[in-house]
Structure 1
Amino acid sequence: MALYALLVGVDAYEAPVQRLNGARNDIAAAQAFLAASVPPDTYFPLCLLDEDATRAAVVDGFRDHLGRAGAGDSAVFWFCGHGSQATPPDEAAHLARLEPGGMLQTVLCVDSRHDGTADLYDKELATLIAEVAARGVHLVAVMDCCHSDSSTRAGGDAAAGPGDGLLTARWQPARTTPPSAHLRRSGPRSRRPAPAGGRSARLRRPPGAWPPRARSARQPP
């Protein structure tokens, strides 16, 4: 079985999009990791870096390169660069109803927001991924960018066409949300809420329901 990889890294954005420093290095590390993970004669990578990572080249990379994968093969799409949000173009305005805020998630190719070139919308990515996966390919997407939480979910109609001038790029810090109360109480020693006038019952793990605890590599046999 073969592994096809489409690896995209963009540092060299031009104003008004802020340049990055490290996306190319991350792709180089990803490339080395994947190359070391499979036999060399089964690994087929395509790297698009900086000026080569245009919107058209990424789309072609899906269809012409990852599209070579067949049933039983694996494919990886690995993107390092800017992510953002965008209002869909008029011809795809119905897609805004799929998002709570009416904005689609996007990734910025090197030519996005220049000369009328739009971002790559998440719904377009979902369609490209679905085209590859439909042939029985196991596909993994790694999105090292902002606004990536739903970039590859829920395939649907592609949002094609130019941008509408309302695209915005911004950086958002990671949120540090404390675990919910029910998560803090979870585990084999958790207790069910006590019935009225009764004692609480301890939750017991059925035999064989959970896998055994992994043994540390430093632990003697």
Structure 2
Amino acid sequence: MNNSSIMKKNFFLIIVALAGFLFCGAQEKRALLIGIDTYTPPDEYEPSSTVGRTEFMDLAGCVNDARSMQSIITSRFKFSTDKIDTLFNTDATRDAILKQINALLEKSKPGDIAFLYYAGHGSQIRNSSSKEADKKDETMVPSNTWKQGVQDIRDKELAKLYNKFIDKGVKLTVIFDCCHSGSLSRGPQDANPPKFRYIAESNYDAKDPSQPTPPETRKEGTFLIMSAAQDNG
């Protein structure tokens, strides 16, 4: 199956899964769409021991996928364009992503629908304080992780934010179009950006013993999280 067919299949499955959530009656519908193709640092970049990883690979199609999702939610799910925020490429820094998720939370009222979509690299980070057997957290990779001290956004950080939406009575749907599978090979280094959305794990240690309640296991509230990634391993 080629990449175009995979993407069409993904979007079809997404539409079916979302229908019951995004067609719900609500006071307001808001969305944050994130797409990152650009990960390589600027020419003047110099590797440092305070940078989480030493290799950065650009992607192809993530911004287009986010734009396609924007078209879907406006045409099929009647989201108003002025209620949709986007972060593309170098604008999608760690601080900007967290700021916009918190802004989505702040603007949303009980009964409202909030939708978060991310297309970009997924990865992992070591967490020596984790109770999980592999001592690793899954991550979303912002566009500026090449900068000193900038870490990936970990699943535990996101879970805490998701729980705030649930606590507020907001109906939250999250889609990640990336991959957290370390079994994927990196592929040849050529002029064509890789199609799979995984990057080598960060060498930071999160040292975070917290165990937030997985939002998908909570009985109260309405929460849906989906992965639209294909396993290319």
Q: Same fold (TM over 0.5)?
A: yes
Matched, 1:3 2:46: no
The root-mean-square deviation of aligned C-alpha atoms, in Å, is 2.5
Residue pair 1:67, 1:132 contacting (<8 A) in 2 also: no
The equivalent of 1:110 in structure 2 is 143
The residue number in structure 2 matching 1:74 is 113
SS in 2 for 1:20: coil
Structure 1 residue 52 and structure 2 residue 109: aligned?
A: no
Distance 1:126 1:83 in 2: 16
The DSSP-based 3-state class of the residue aligned with 1:76 is strand
Aligned pairs (5 A) from 1:1-221: 1-14=27-40, 16-39=55-78, 41=80, 44-88=83-127, 93-94=128-129, 96-97=130-131, 99-147=132-180, 165=204, 174=231
**Contact (CA 8 Å) 1:78, 1:141: kept in 2 or not?**
yes
Contact 2:40 2:146 in 1 (8 A): no
Deviations 1:121-145 (A, max 9, x none): 0000111111122110010110001
Q: Cα offset for 1:43?
A: 6.2
In the alignment, structure 2 segments of 5+ residues that lack a partner are 1-26, 42-54, 182-201, 207-228
d(CA) in 1 for partners of 2:80 and 2:63? Answer: 24
What amino acid is the match of 1:108?
Answer: V
Asked which structure has the greater RCO (Cα within 8 Å, sep 6+), the reply is 2
| C-alpha distance in structure 2 between counterparts of 1:49 and 1:101, whole Å | 32
In 2, Cα distance between the equivalents of 1:41 and 1:109? 26
After superposition, the Cα gap between the structure-2 partners of 1:40 and 1:105, relative to the gap in structure 1 and judged at 3 Å, is: closer
* 1:25/1:173 CA distance change after superposition, 3 Å: closer
The structure whose Rg is larger is 1
Aligned equivalents of 2:32, 2:62: Cα separation in 1: 14
- In structure 1, runs of 5+ residues without a counterpart are 149-162, 177-221
